[in-house]
């Protein structure tokens, strides 16, 4: 009996430090699926005369969340769903919508989807997450980071934030000061950066 007890104590002495260093098992990551009906994306583009805004739909999405950070995921945007909301006149509204879909802007016939692939996240300011990923528009992929406020309760999660996009990186150069003399554009100048304000609702 004494020999057995000594053996057990020796075994524990050998492996207890390893077990202690290992710590408790990591919390498993849960897969969340985006509810496309409850989620919303508002686009805003500014020009020297003011600009326009509207909405665009998420077609699908999912990501992994461990209670603190988002480790991976992807979101698909239906580019043909782009709509203008600040113009009341039906004719002007239709013209601008069609212009956004043509080759001056998003070429939606050739590139019907945009994609955000999330590669990781880390704690940011004011309790937000700083999310990193790759954004693809018109077949061009560029790295991007943006903050998001995460509210998780039970099996549902809500992420709210704003993504700023430099359109020049994606080959959208129409009326841009980066490729044309601003003085020649006069009051037709469109600023290079547009924003996507999003509210993404997802569930386990």
CATH of the domain at 83: 2.40.128.110
Residue that the structure tokens 């991007």 belong to: 144
Number of separate domains in the chain: 1
| Residue-wise pLDDT tens digits, 97-106 | 999 999 999 9
d(CA 123, CA 79): 31
Return the pLDDT at 179. Answer: 80
Q: Which domain holds residue 166?
A: 27-203
Query: Does residue 154 surpass a pLDDT of 90?
Result: no
If one counts every other C-beta atom within 10 angstroms of the C-beta of residue 63, the result is 26
Residue 191 lies in a domain: yes
| Residue-wise pLDDT tens digits, 72-107 | 999 999 999 999 999 999 999 999 999 999 999 999
Token representation of residue 109? 């016939």
Q: Residue 152: in which H helix or E strand, if any?
A: strand 140-153
Return the pLDDT at 16. Answer: 45
Return the pLDDT at 8. Answer: 42
Residue 96 lies in a domain: yes
Residue 4 lies in a domain: no
Return the pLDDT at 59. Answer: 98
CB-based contact 86:42 (threshold 8 Å) = no
Return the pLDDT at 178. Answer: 83
Query: Does residue 17 surpass a pLDDT of 90?
Result: no
């Amino acid at each position: 009996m004494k020999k057995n007890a000594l053996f057990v104590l020796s075994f524990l002495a050998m492996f207890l430090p390893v077990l202690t260093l290992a710590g408790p098992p990591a919390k498993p990551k849960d897969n969340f699926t985006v509810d496309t009906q409850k989620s919303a994306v508002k686009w805003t583009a500014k020009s020297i005369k003011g600009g326009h805004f509207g909405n665009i739909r998420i077609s699908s999405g999912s990501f992994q969340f461990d209670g603190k950070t988002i480790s991976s995921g992807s979101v698909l945007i239906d580019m043909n769903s782009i709509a203008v909301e600040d113009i009341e006149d039906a004719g002007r509204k239709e013209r601008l919508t069609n212009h956004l879909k043509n080759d001056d802007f998003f070429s939606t016939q050739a590139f019907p989807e945009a994609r955000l692939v999330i590669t990781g996240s880390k704690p940011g300011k004011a309790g937000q997450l700083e999310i990193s990923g790759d954004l693809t528009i018109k077949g061009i992929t560029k790295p991007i980071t943006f903050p998001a406020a995460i509210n998780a309760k039970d099996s549902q999660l809500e992420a709210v934030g704003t993504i700023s996009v430099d359109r020049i990186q994606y080959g959208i150069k129409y009326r841009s000061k980066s490729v044309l003399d601003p003085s020649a554009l006069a009051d037709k100048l469109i600023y290079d950066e547009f924003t996507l304000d999003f509210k993404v609702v997802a569930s386990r």
